[in-house]
């Protein structure tokens, strides 16, 4: 099911953006980012996000991102589930240099962020993401073609059990700007199937 963009709302509206029938463009502003405390000991909380709210406990959200314009270190765009400044997750490709960039994800619980990454070639300029929810646990996947998805991580959100907000974001943490393009946004039944191995511990 295509996502109705009219149902999405800004968490920090960017200065420049375009929303069409099935396409969103976000032009990033310099020195925008999301990060909390860990390792760098700074807190950045000013990246724009376009999100939809739901209480549905089982779903998948899919989007195609085009970051052909990224050109400066840490330029990024992708999916986000921003609950508040200290509880959120994101997945994106972050530009590093002319040789490689970082495909990765950040999960922030109670004010501390992590960053799980892998290097990919700098000439990759399109990436699909799928965010799936099973109650307060989440799975993030990526795909080069929108058909075959590979798991990036499974995580728990301490404040992610009730109503959540999720969608897309883009930012440029350093002195840069580019236009990120988002298309093919869909809401689907949860594609992350229940675990069929070891049974849960008895309580």
pLDDT of residue 115: 95
Question: Mean pLDDT score of the chain, rounded to an integer?
Answer: 96
Residue 172: how many CB atoms within 10 A of its CB?
Answer: 26
Whether 202 has a pLDDT exceeding 90, the answer reads no
Q: Is the pTM of this model over 0.85?
A: yes
User: How far, in whole angstroms, is CA 104 from its chain's centroid?
Assistant: 10
State the distance between the two ends of the chain, measured CA to CA, in whole angstroms. Answer: 38
Structural domains in the chain, sorted by start: 5-188 (2.60.120.200)
| Helical H segments across the chain, by residue range | none
Contact present, 192 and 59 (Cβ < 8 Å): no
pLDDT of residue 203: 67
> What mean pLDDT is predicted for residues 117-146?
98
DSSP string of 104-155? EEEEEETTEE--EEEEEETT--EEEEEEEEETTEEEEEEESSSSS-EEEEEE
Assign 99 to helix, strand or coil. Answer: coil
Cα separation, 90 vs 150, in Å, equals: 16
pLDDT of residue 4: 86
Whether 143 has a pLDDT exceeding 70, the answer reads yes
Which neighbouring-strand residues pair with 112? 109
**Which residues of the chain form beta strands (DSSP E)?**
9-11, 16-19, 23-27, 34-36, 43-45, 49-54, 58-66, 76-84, 87-95, 100-109, 112-113, 116-121, 126-134, 137-143, 150-156, 164-171, 179-188
Cα separation, 109 vs 45, in Å, equals: 14
Whether 122 has a pLDDT exceeding 70, the answer reads yes
For the stretch 8-37, pLDDT in tens is 999 999 999 999 989 999 999 999 999 999
């Amino acid at each position: 099911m295509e996502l109705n963009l009219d149902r999405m709302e800004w968490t920090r509206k960017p200065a420049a953006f375009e929303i069409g029938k099935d396409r969103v463009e976000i032009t990033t502003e310099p020195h925008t980012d999301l990060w909390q405390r860990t390792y760098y000991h700074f807190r950045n909380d000013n990246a724009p996000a376009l999100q939809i709210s739901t209480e549905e406990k089982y779903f998948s959200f899919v989007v195609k991102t085009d970051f052909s314009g990224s050109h400066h270190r840490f330029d990024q765009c992708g999916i986000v589930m921003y609950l508040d400044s200290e509880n959120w997750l994101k997945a994106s490709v972050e530009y590093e240099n002319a040789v490689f960039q970082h495909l990765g994800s950040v999960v922030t619980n109670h004010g501390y962020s992590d960053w799980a990454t892998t290097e990919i070639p700098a000439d990759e300029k399109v990436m699909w993401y799928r965010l799936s929810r099973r109650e307060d646990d989440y799975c993030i996947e990526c795909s080069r073609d929108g058909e075959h998805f590979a798991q990036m991580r499974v995580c728990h959100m301490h404040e992610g059990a009730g109503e959540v907000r999720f969608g897309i974001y883009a930012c440029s943490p350093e002195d840069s700007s580019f236009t990120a393009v988002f298309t093919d946004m869909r809401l689907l039944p949860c594609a992350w199937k229940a675990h069929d191995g070891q049974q849960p511990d008895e309580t």
